[in-house]
Amino acid sequence: MSVQAFLKLPQRVYLGEGLFNRLGDFLKTRKNTNVLLFTDAGLLKAGLVQPIEDYFKQNNITYQIESEIKPEPSYVQVDELLKKVSNFDFDTIVAIGGGSVMDAAKLISLLIHTNLSVKDLIDDASQVKKQCATVFIPTTAGTGSEATINAIVAIPEKQVKFGIVSDAMLPDLVLLDVDNVKNLPKPILAASAIDALSHCIECYTAKNATVMSDGVALLGAKLIFHNIVKAYKDPSDIKAREALQLGAFYGGVAITASGTNIVHALSYPLGGKFHIAHGVSNAILFKAGMETNKPAIKDKLASLCDTVWPEEGNKSVDEKADFVINKIAEVVKDTEIPTDLKKFGVSDSDLDFLVDSALEQKRLLSHNMKDLTREDVKNIYKSVM
């Protein structure tokens, strides 16, 4: 009997330029359209939200803006947002922003008009239902939040991050509009694209990967590997940026089917305690995590090498696996992401906390092909300090 495979997808996804007409087409299908426009203060100031506002005004669409969304928010901050927007009259959320904006929007879409809180979802999200329509317009080329069934929140009292998972988080419409990433600052482009690459490779090498998750993970990895440095070095290369958008989306789809593991599990404590940006912490841990996992995943890494770099086909399995791992390190270096935890105030005295917190990420580590010992995890952290 063959192993069951599945993918969970948003209802509609568009890729291209100037996609506001698709937003309009969707809103016209809504019987009553009052929109909560979710974004952050930086995007509002940069003018990225203005075209949507102009469209709403021209088409007499009632909307209210919420832009007080913190980067990588805690569950407490999202609960505060929930209380605030509960006073608004809306039936659709349009979220334009990065992963934090979209994750907050996902949680609000599940909690609005209920008596539940984000803390309740941390405890148990199995029975929650979607309460309003959602439209996601990512402005980074990396988090994949527009495609995932996850929302990440910080838990301050534990100094760690946590992924809330629910199928109900999938959006009704996704617009991968390259106009939104044309002017993306280089450091944000690099960190978000590395995050997306880690999604693809972790999912491809996950214990519960399937033929379907493998397909999208490979597509994503190929697009990102071949375009991240080009997009980073040449901001005018719109095709490369569009490729990163699509690669990030594929990585998000892969997460819904197989899930991330070693890199993300060790990354969460770094974000929770030291507030290192998620993509940066993944980049720091990426090479070391793959090296630790190599004995259990070298066949998959070799297969990935065959897909992304077929010209390396004469190499052995071990050589192909090492080639992929070295390419990861090369991409991180070429995009100028810091790779030393000490630059972020992490010291040897923090090792026990980091190891304990990482090992608590049981949901993620259950996907990992290699059973990690405490010493494995400690050695990964030590190697980047």
Which of 10-14, 123-127, 174-178 has the weakest average pLDDT?
Answer: 123-127
Domain termination site, one of 153, 180, 207: 180
Residue 2 lies in a domain: no
pLDDT for 32 equals 67
What is the count of structural domains for the chain? 2
Phi and psi at residue 109, to the nearest 5°: -65, -25
Q: pTM of the predicted model, to two decimals?
A: 0.94
| Same domain, yes or no: 238 and 145 | no
Q: Are 139 and 20 within one domain?
A: yes
CA-angle at 207, arms to 269 and 147, nearest 5°:
65
Average pLDDT over residues 342-356: 95
Residues near 79 by Cβ (< 8 Å), separated by ≥ 6?
117, 118, 119
Residue 267 lies in a domain: yes
In a domain, 292, yes or no: yes
Sole residue written with tokens 């993300």: 264
pLDDT of res. 311: 97
Residues 6+ apart with CB under 8 A from 236: none
Residues 167, 193 within the same domain? no
- pLDDT, mean of residues 267-276: 93
pLDDT of the residue at 4: 80
| Of 6-10, 245-249, 263-267, 366-370, minimum mean pLDDT range | 6-10
Q: How many CB atoms lie within 10 A of CB 306?
A: 15
Residues 244 and 341 in one domain: yes
277 and 327 part of one domain? yes
pLDDT value for 1: 39
Beta bridge partners of 162: 153
> Any residues with CB less than 8 A from the CB of 253 and at least 6 apart, and which?
7, 8, 9, 144, 147, 213, 216
> Does residue 103 fall inside a structural domain?
yes
Judgement on whether residues 148 and 242 belong to the same structural domain of the protein: no
Q: Are residues 140 and 260 in the same domain?
A: no
Quote the pLDDT of residue 80: 95
The string of pLDDT tens digits covering residues 254-267 is: 999 999 999 999 99
Mean pLDDT value across residues 6-33:
89
Same domain, residue pair 102 and 190: no
User: What amino acid is encoded at 232 in this protein?
Assistant: Y
Question: What domain range includes position 289?
Answer: 186-383
Maximum distance among all Cα pairs of the chain, rounded to whole angstroms: 63
| The one-letter amino acid at 148 | T
Average pLDDT on 131-156 reads 94
Residue 234 counted as domain residue: yes
Task: Please report whether residue 71 resides in a domain.
Answer: yes
| Domain edge (last residue) among 180, 205, 221 | 180
pLDDT > 90: what percent of the chain? 87
Q: Are 161 and 78 in contact (CB under 8 A)?
A: no
Residues 148 and 219 in one domain: no
Residue 90 lies in a domain: yes
pLDDT above 70 coverage of the chain, percent: 99
Average pLDDT, the chain: 94
- pLDDT tens column, 174-186: 999 999 999 899 9
Cα–Cα nearest to 76, from 117, 105, 126: 117
Beta bridge partners of 173: 12, 135
More confident residue, 69 or 30: 69
Per-residue confidence (pLDDT) for residue 84, from 0 to 100: 94
Same domain, 193 and 155: no
Q: pLDDT (tens digit, 9 = 90+) per residue, 86-124? A: 999 899 999 999 999 999 999 999 999 999 999 999 999
- Could you tell me if residue 280 is inside a domain? yes
What integer is the mean pLDDT of 204-216?
96
How does residue 142 score in pLDDT terms, banded at 50, 70 and 90? confident
- 175 and 200 belong to one structural domain: no
Distances (CA, A) of 62 to 35, 54, 91, 260, 285: 6, 12, 11, 39, 45
Are 217 and 295 members of one domain? Answer: yes
Residue that terminates a domain, selected from 180, 200, 217: 180
